[in-house]
Amino acid sequence: MRIILKGSKVKSKLTEKVEKISGQNIFACYQCGKCSAGCPMIDSMDYMPNQAMKLLQMGAAEEIINSKTMWMCASCHTCSVRCPRDIDLSAVMEALRLIYLRTNVNKVEPSQIPEEELKDLPQIALVCNFRKMTR
């Protein structure tokens, strides 16, 4: 991963891309944890929202892009309302998903879902998954 040094900050190309797409200043986060404390999806995430911000600040965007966190985010905006630095974290999560989807790799392959499971899955969950996780 290419790292760019800017003053005292370390920025990766991916972090710059996340900032550009989301319109958010990743380095404004000071790790208060309020976003994670209010996140309703926290139990399903492998990195908490504030940890995702820390990874982005450290230039480790690939780590978070390959995690479950951005897919578990329900875009409820609770974190954005609670953030004392006015960071729209749901926009950051959306940017991460977009960057992943632009790699043109299907996260969910419809033809691989067993028929038995398809019978029980709510249609809305399938539509949501296909919209978020397929090309």
For ligand SF4, the binding residue among 18, 64, 65, 87 (CB under 6 A) is 87
CB of 64 within 8 A of CB of 47?
yes
Q: How far is the CB of 128 from ligand SF4 (least distance, A)?
A: 13
Burial class, 125, CB count within 10 angstroms (exposed 0-12 / middle 13-18 / buried 19+)? exposed
Strand duo 3-6 + 9-12: pairing: antiparallel
Look up tokens 């760019």; give the residue. Answer: 4
Look up tokens 């875009």; give the residue. Answer: 75
Backbone φ and ψ for 9, nearest 5 degrees, come out as -95, 150
- Only one of the segments 11-19, 29-37, 55-63, 117-125 lies at the binding site for ligand SF4 (rule: CB under 6 A); that segment is 29-37
Nearest to ligand SF4 of 14, 52 (CB atom): 52
Nearest to ligand SF4 of 104, 125 (CB atom): 125
DSSP at 5: E
Nearest to ligand SF4 of 14, 64 (CB atom): 64
For ligand SF4, the binding residue among 89, 94, 95, 96 (CB under 6 A) is 89
For ligand SF4, the binding residue among 35, 55, 95, 96 (CB under 6 A) is 35
Q: Which long-range contacts (CB under 8 A, 24 or more apart) does 110-119 make?
A: 110/134
Q: Which of residues 41-60 bind ligand SF4 (CB under 6 A)?
A: 41, 49-50, 53
Q: Which residues bind ligand SF4 (CB under 6 A)?
A: 29-35, 38-41, 49-50, 53, 73-79, 82-85, 87, 89-90, 93
